[in-house]
Amino acid sequence: MTETIPLAIVGCGGMGHRHMYGLAELTRAGLSPFALVGACDPDEGNANSLADQAAELLGTRPAVAGNLEALAAATDVAAIDLTTTPRYHHTVAVEAFERGWHVMSEKPLGLTARACQLMVQAAARHDRVLSTAENYRRDPINRLGKALLDSGVIGDPRLMLHHTMGGGDGMLISVWRHQKDASGVLLDVGVHFADILEYYLGPASTIYAQTRLHEKTRKNPVAGKGVTKGGGVYERWQTDMPAKFEATADDAGYSTMLFESGAVVSYIEDHASRGEGMWKRAIFGSRGSMDLPGDRSGRRLTLHLPGQDAESGAALLDLVPEFRLDAATAALFGGDRLFEYSFEFVETDRKLIAVEYADFGLAIQGQSGHPEVSGAQGQRSVAIAYAWMESQVAGRSVTVDEVLNDELNAYQADINDSLGI
Ligand SMILES: NC(=O)c1ccc[n+]([C@@H]2O[C@H](COP(=O)([O-])OP(=O)(O)OC[C@H]3O[C@@H](n4cnc5c(N)ncnc54)[C@H](O)[C@@H]3O)[C@@H](O)[C@H]2O)c1
């Protein structure tokens, strides 16, 4: 019998609450190695809100603290789940490692490539687990897509398209997501897609991008409106955010990427487009192609092979007889060989977060060696996201390595200055 791991959630905003729902989901499934002992946030209201809901869902109210020192004084902690805004990830993580705690950090791992380095180095120095809470690849449909790709059914991948368009001048969840010194949408969302691209294709090597800040004023449609019944988890904070605000981070990226395998990716991520919205993710190989649905949608992927009808049903599973979801995903999603699923978004969301927790727990207990999305992998995603912006500033194609190693950092320079790193 392995010992329960005392865990604190640090950062009790929208994602902190969602993570607690994920922990409760894992606990209900009888698979949680964690006990939630702390809710830490300088915003007392947010910390107490999370602690109150945890008391209901988990049966015990975690201690509330405003910082890590107060947390350590209040309770024994062995691991933290880091869900603060990105600007604080590196300072909180480094302090946690110094206290001997393991860390699962929300994406983006750090606010800049340099901030990520500090986190990865501190984890290694203190020999603690650093896991990136990257949820998209853990979607059972992406697991099936990856198994199909690895089976060679579409042959060698030649080209991957990842095109997303939409957003206009609307606020994406919160003000800070549009501010360069707090995040920026191409970092916030881009790290998910960078992780997906490397999950499917292996390491990215070279990137050429044009990036833009199209919408310099963003609008918040719910400003000043009351909280609605059934409104999303963020609504109570959004109603207090300004109706209009200045955006400082690039909001659109148009890029061609080369991968070490020789595969090419056409990448468009435009959070400012108007008119027809777009979602397209597809991989074209030497024998066929695969259309992939939106992450967390539960929709089916579609396989296209020459001379055959498009296939998106159970027959896909016959092509990958060895394909099995990991134990936690299978238990939570109700089967170890899925080609679709159907849950409300909030339920899918907490199941995938539960899977992240299960993975983090196994890594801490030494059962898996390391978490699936390590700190180093989370660091690569941040480097890829900034490589789009750095390519724009440099006016040339750039390598992922020069951004990863912090040799090319002109776009990030003022962010690093503001962080004092
Ligand atoms: N994986 C996903 O699907 C997903 C979705 C949303 C957010 N996120 C990530 O989760 C993180 C949090 O985002 P959010 O939407 O919850 O933001 P949020 O603004 O709703 O909440 C952030 C919270 O962090 C707290 N905080 C700030 N500094 C702190 C510190 N030093 N110590 C403790 N708490 C501190 C704030 O007071 C606030 O309560 C971000 O990194 C974001 O990118 C991931």
How far apart CA 303 and CA 75 sit, in angstroms, is 52
Quote the DSSP letter at residue 88: G
The answer for residues whose C-beta is within 8 angstroms of residue 148's C-beta and 6 or more apart is 154, 290, 301, 303, 316, 319, 320
- Predicted pLDDT at 182: 97
**From the CA of 316, how far away is ligand 1's center (Å)?**
38
How far does the centroid of ligand 1 lie from the alpha carbon of residue 83, in Å?
A: 5
How is the chain split into domains, by residue range?
Answer: 5-136, 139-339
Residue with CA closest to ligand 1 atom 9: 106
Q: Indicate whether residue 48 lines ligand 1 (CB < 6 A).
A: no
Q: Say if CB 302 and CB 311 are below 8 A apart.
A: yes
pLDDT of residue 1: 47
CB atoms within 10 A of CB 1: 3
328 pocket-lining for ligand 1 (C-beta < 6 Å): no
Work out whether the CA dihedral 251, 109, 352, 255 comes out positive or negative: positive
Say whether the peptide bond before residue 108 is cis (omega within 30 degrees of 0): yes
The residues of the chain scoring below 50 in pLDDT are 1
User: Quick check: CB of 43 below 6 Å from ligand 1?
Assistant: yes
Going by alpha carbons, the residue nearest to atom 29 of ligand 1 is 84
Q: Are 32 and 355 in contact (CB under 8 A)?
A: no
Which one of 40, 104, 106, 348 would you pick to mutate in the ligand 1 pocket, going by the greatest count of ligand atoms within 8 A of its CB?
Answer: 106
pLDDT of residue 63: 98
> CA dist 20 to 130, 216, 315, Å?
19, 34, 37
Q: How far is the CA of 66 from the centre of ligand 1 (A)?
A: 15
So what's the pLDDT on residue 3?
Answer: 86
Interhelix angle 140-151/190-201, nearest 10 degrees? 30
Q: Is there an atom of ligand 1 within 6 Å of 175 CB?
A: no
Q: Please report the sign of the dihedral spanned by the C-alpha atoms of residue 61, residue 54, residue 351, residue 370.
A: negative
Q: What percent of the chain has pLDDT over 90?
A: 94
Q: For ligand 1, say whether the CB of 84 is within 6 Å of any of its atoms.
A: yes
Query: What pLDDT shows up at residue 369?
Result: 75
32 lines ligand 1 (CB under 6 A): no
The chain-wide mean pLDDT, for the chain, equals: 97
14 C-alpha to ligand 1 centroid (Å):
7
Interatomic CA distance for residues 383 and 183, integer angstroms: 13
Please tell me the CATH superfamily of domain 139-339, with its number: Dihydrodipicolinate Reductase; domain 2 (3.30.360.10)
- 171 residue type, one letter: M
5-136 CATH fold: Rossmann fold (3.40.50)
Q: Give 206 Cα–ligand 1 centroid separation in angstroms.
A: 31
Q: What do you get for the CA distance between the two ends of the chain, in Å?
A: 43
The rounded Å distance from CA 319 to ligand 1 centre is 40
Residue 32: per-residue pLDDT:
98
Give residue 310 CA to ligand 1 midpoint distance, Å: 41
Give distance in angstroms: CA of 386 to centre of ligand 1. Answer: 20
Helix ranges, 152-222 (H): 185-188, 190-201
| Dihedral angle sign, alpha carbons of residues 96, 97, 102, 105 | positive
85 Cβ below 6 A of ligand 1:
yes
CB 336 within 8 A of CB 325: yes
- What is the reported pLDDT for 368? 76
CA 18, CA 34: separation in Å to the nearest integer? 16
Contact 132, 81 (CB under 8 A): no
What is the CA 419 to chain-centroid distance, rounded?
22
Q: Which atom of ligand 1 is nearest to the CA of 134?
A: 1
Q: Which two tokens stand for residue 69?
A: 């020192």
pTM over 0.85: yes
Q: How far is the CA of 82 from the centre of ligand 1 (A)?
A: 8
Burial zone of 256 (CB within 10 Å; 0-12 exposed, 13-18 middle, 19+ buried):
middle
pLDDT of residue 229: 74
Q: Which of 84, 181, 237 to mutate to test the pocket of ligand 1 (most atoms within 8 A of CB)?
A: 84
| Span 160-173, pLDDT tens digits | 999 999 999 999 99
